[in-house]
Amino acid sequence: MTRGCVMAEPRASLHPRRRRIDGVTAGLTLLAIIAFAVVAGPWLSPYGYDEQALALLGQPRPPSLSHWLGTDELGRDVLTRLLYGGRISLAVGLAGAAVATGAGTLIGALAGYFGGWIDQLLMRFTDVMLSIPALPLVLVIAGLIRPAPTLLVLLIATLIWPGAARLVRSHVRSIRKLDYVAAAQTLGAGSARIIARHVLPNAVPAIAVSATIAVGGAIMLESALSFLGFGIQPPVPTWGNLLNEAAPWLVSAPWMSIPPGALILLSVVAVNLVGDGLRVRGSGL
């Protein structure tokens, strides 16, 4: 009986597919859990992110039944601040990565498609941007102006887009040489149409990979900035400035520093798992 079923679906018998969890599934699951927690958490929590329990003022208190991850030295609930901060860290990271990927794709596509002096101009500019050391630049800018979230997003995007531009350019260059581009030109399609309909759709795997790399980079950058005190300003928490606040208590109150550090790590690992999995899927199957 089972044999008959196998005969009916020869593909299933030739390529027995063991259920394996690849990076994309694992990464997306992990991200979904983190996203759900940071969206629902603060909403379910009985505390506000800047609500102080005056009785607990003075020094951090360890985890207890009423405060699962303890409180900080100002009597604020660590778990609530952690999840609320995750909203901002993830939102800034995702937005920064989205802007960076968009800009990188546009510039990479133009450079790769047209080649010649346009390529030279755009790619030398990309090289210049890539060679600027990220942190000193950000520190200077953030020192001059107090960054609002929008500005922070743009700042992060400015630092990340060159990587995306390079990756997209190299893919566009190889796609551009294929005959279906020549066929579209022979049919009289314009450059904009060819890029939009024939080149970019086939560069999507590469763009997706660079987007996930960008998300990881953006989350790290946001955390680094906030940790150094140049990002989102307290009392609004982000994972980065939570780490900053936890720094003096590193040994005496590790429940303040470990959770935000772990969540930064987990989120970046999750996004990179997705990116790596996409790359494998693109090349393998």
Partner 1 sequence: MSRLLDVAGLTVDFRGQRQGWVKAPPVRALSDVALHVDSGEIVGIVGESGSGKTTLGRAILGLIRPTEGSIHFEGTPLVGAPPKQMRAVRRRLQAVFQDPTSSLNPSMTVGAAIAEALALHGIGTREERPARVAALLERVGLPASAAARYPRMLSGGQRQRVGIARALAVEPALIVADEAVSALDVSVQAGIVNLLSDLRDELGLAMLFVSHDLSLVGYFCDRVVVLYLGRVMESGPVDAIFAAPRHPYTRALIDAAPAIDPAQRSTATAPLRGDPPSPMAPPSGCVFRTRCPHAIARCAEVVPPLEGPAEGHRAACIRQDELTSANHQEFVPS
Summarize as ranges the residues that interact with partner 1 (CB under 8 A).
178-180, 182-189, 197-198, 201-202, 204
Which is nearer to partner 1, 2 or 283 (by Cβ)?
A: 283
Which is nearer to partner 1, 146 or 197 (by Cβ)?
A: 197
Tell the smallest beta-carbon distance from residue 161 to partner 1 (Å): 24
Q: Number of C-alpha atoms within 13 angstroms, CB side, residue 209?
A: 17
Residue 254, burial from CB neighbour count under 10 angstroms (0-12, 13-18, 19+): middle
**Cα–Cα distance list, 114 to 88, 108, 119 (Å):** 39, 10, 7
Rounded Cα distance between 237 and 218, Å, is 17
Q: How is residue 148 written in tokens?
A: 């609002």
With the C-alpha atoms ordered 55, 60, 65, 69, is the resulting torsion angle positive or negative?
A: positive
Tell the smallest beta-carbon distance from residue 177 to partner 1 (Å): 9
Kind plus residue range of the DSSP H or E element containing 190: none
Which is nearer to partner 1, 211 or 215 (by Cβ)?
A: 211
Rounded Cα distance between 285 and 283, Å, is 6
Tell the smallest beta-carbon distance from residue 13 to partner 1 (Å): 21
Which is nearer to partner 1, 205 or 234 (by Cβ)?
A: 205
Tell the smallest beta-carbon distance from residue 202 to partner 1 (Å): 5
Which is nearer to partner 1, 202 or 272 (by Cβ)?
A: 202
DSSP three-state, residue 178: coil
Tell the smallest beta-carbon distance from residue 185 to partner 1 (Å): 6
